Amino acid sequence: MHGGSRRGSHPLADEKANGRGTGPRAAQPGPAPDADRLVRLLEPVVHAMNMDLEGIRVTAAGRRRVLRVVVDADGGVSLDDIALASRELSVKLDGSAEMGEQPYTLEVSSPGVDRPLTQPRHWRRAAGRLVVAPLKTRASGDQNGNGAALAEGRIVGSSERGVTLEHAGVTREYSYAELGPGRVQVEFGHFDDSAGDDDLGEED
């Protein structure tokens, strides 16, 4: 069984240090865990909590590995949601051998505002935000200083097929096929402090 402690932050990090491998006969680092296998292992656990698994990343930190898991949901995720996900994922990992024998730390977080918008659910959850996205063709749209075509505006609607942006009083619909990864623009003072607290996310 892995043991560990939590440290207060949002995203909340649930540190799970594998107790094995800390003595003079510590195991040498084995092969890196397979991300696809971890997704298959953990995604059902996240879905059971009505959340989406947005990303998994394994990195090395000295003799320890760090497993970063990013989760999200409609309406965002709270600290309690993160804590619950951390506990449930810990239990699942404890019952598997996917992380190997090397000690590791589990960190569960929500996406940061710099997370690219690449899926319909990402655009839906950014409703009301000011965003910018490259257009895959230069037939229309504004242009930046490099001459690249951009779609820019506030998200006023979205569906499984596309998104509606409002810019300077004009609304326009874009299909996701027209857009590259969207980026939320930081607007100081546009959202209240309570909304901002839930937007802190993983550095990626």
Place 188 in a pLDDT band, splitting at 50, 70 and 90.
Answer: confident
Is pLDDT of 1 > 70? Answer: no
Please give the torsion angle defined by the CA atoms of residues 42, 100, 7 and 86, in that order, rounded to the nearest 10 degrees: 20
pLDDT tens-place string over residues 99-138? 988 899 999 999 988 889 999 999 999 999 999 999 987 5
Q: What is the pLDDT of residue 7?
A: 33
DSSP annotation of 74: T
Three-state DSSP state, 56: strand
Contacts for 97 with CB less than 8 Å, ≥ 6 apart: none
- Checking if the pLDDT of 52 tops 70, the result is yes
Whole-number pLDDT of residue 142: 53
In this predicted structure, what is the pLDDT of residue 20? Answer: 40
Which has more pLDDT, 23 or 134?
A: 134
Of residues 20 and 158, the one with the higher pLDDT is 158
* Averaged confidence pLDDT in the chain: 80
Predicted confidence at residue 187, as pLDDT, reads: 85
Phi, psi of 80 (to 5 degrees): -65, -40
pLDDT at position 182? 96
Assess whether pLDDT exceeds 90 at residue 28.
no
pTM higher than the cut 0.85: no
Q: Give the per-residue pLDDT at 74.
A: 92
**Best CA proximity match to 68, nearest among 2, 16, 4, 126:** 16
Top pLDDT among 153 and 23 is at 153
pLDDT for res 181: 96
CA gap 107, 73 in Å, rounded: 17
Q: What would the pLDDT profile of 54-81 be if each residue is shown by its tens digit?
A: 999 999 888 889 999 999 999 899 999 9
> Does pLDDT of 36 surpass 80?
yes
Asked if omega into 11 is within 30° of 0 (cis), the reply is yes
- Domains of the chain plus CATH, in order, are 3-109 (3.30.300.20), 120-185 (2.30.30.100)
